[in-house]
Amino acid sequence: MNSIHDMGGMHGLGAVRAEPNEPPFHEKWEGRAGGIVEVMTFPENFPGDRFRYLRETLRPDLYLTQSYYEQWLYVAEQILLEAGMISAEELRDGRAGPSAAKRNDAMRADAVWGFLHDRAHTGRKLAEGPRFAIGQRVRARNMQPDGHTRLPRYARGKTGIVTRHHGGHVLPDAHAHWQGPAPQHLYTVRFTARELWGEAANPRDRVNLDLWESYLEPA
């Protein structure tokens, strides 16, 4: 979707401000929020790409003003609401409704290390070989899907060269909308800074993007 999250190439968002010796969490609630979102019980077969998609659906004004972990909270609430695992009333009240059943399968503390070790792989074996070869010139399609995609606006319609092939990977565009993994070949495509940004860009600079096969056409 063409929303505020797709900000590569924008001006006006200010200078980068790095904090020396930044801690992992600035306040206690950030760690709680991060932890809840990672270790809570998810809906069955929840596609990881939907997590990213849901963050993109945050209202643009809130996307720019809320902190990262506040945005995670929004995503967690949204995941649980749309799966019917919590109700709007429960969320408002901060307590379970009278008829709510209590589950007993929450992740245990001693399972965290293994959980972080064994996150699901997105790699998939594909029967068909790759359509594009390393070294081939390709153009990123001009497409404007209103759902999730990993093709940023700044690369659409631009021509680059395939430099790596990563095998088959789950397609975020389908997976984020519960349409199954629909795996495709994934490539790294190298664009010159001039192709992306015009003559004023440094002629030596390049930008590399990982792009799925359906994002590309021969150039």
Tell whether residue 15 is a contact of another protein (CB under 8 A). Answer: yes
Q: Quickly tell me which residue has 């967690």 as its tokens.
A: 76
As a whole number of angstroms, the distance between CA 161 and CA 146 comes to 27
Structure tokens at 36: 């809840």
As a whole number of angstroms, the distance between CA 186 and CA 208 comes to 13
Site for another protein in 191-210 (CB under 8 A): 193, 196-197, 202, 204-210
Tell whether residue 120 is a contact of another protein (CB under 8 A). Answer: yes
Pick one of 44, 45, 60, 88: the residue that binds another protein (CB under 8 A): 88
Tell whether residue 126 is a contact of another protein (CB under 8 A). Answer: no
Name residues whose C-beta falls within 8 Å of residue 52's C-beta, 6 or more positions apart in sequence. 148, 172, 176
Tell whether residue 84 is a contact of another protein (CB under 8 A). Answer: no
Residue 209: enclosing H or E segment and its boundaries? strand 206-212
Question: Quick check: 216 and 187 in contact, CB under 8 A?
Answer: yes
Tell whether residue 133 is a contact of another protein (CB under 8 A). Answer: no
Pick one of 29, 46, 142, 219: the residue that binds another protein (CB under 8 A): 29
φ, ψ (nearest 5 deg) of residue 141: -65, 150
Write the binding mask 96 to 115 for another protein: x where contact by CB under 8 A, - elsewhere: x---xxxxxxxxxxxxxx--
φ, ψ (nearest 5 deg) of residue 42: -95, 160
DSSP code for 129? P
Pick one of 139, 188, 194, 217: the residue that binds another protein (CB under 8 A): 188
Site for another protein in 34-73 (CB under 8 A): 34-36, 38-41, 48-49, 52, 54-55, 57, 59, 64, 67-70, 73
Site for another protein in 142-171 (CB under 8 A): 145-148, 150, 152, 154, 164, 166, 169-170
Nearer to another protein (CB atom), residue 128 or residue 146: 146
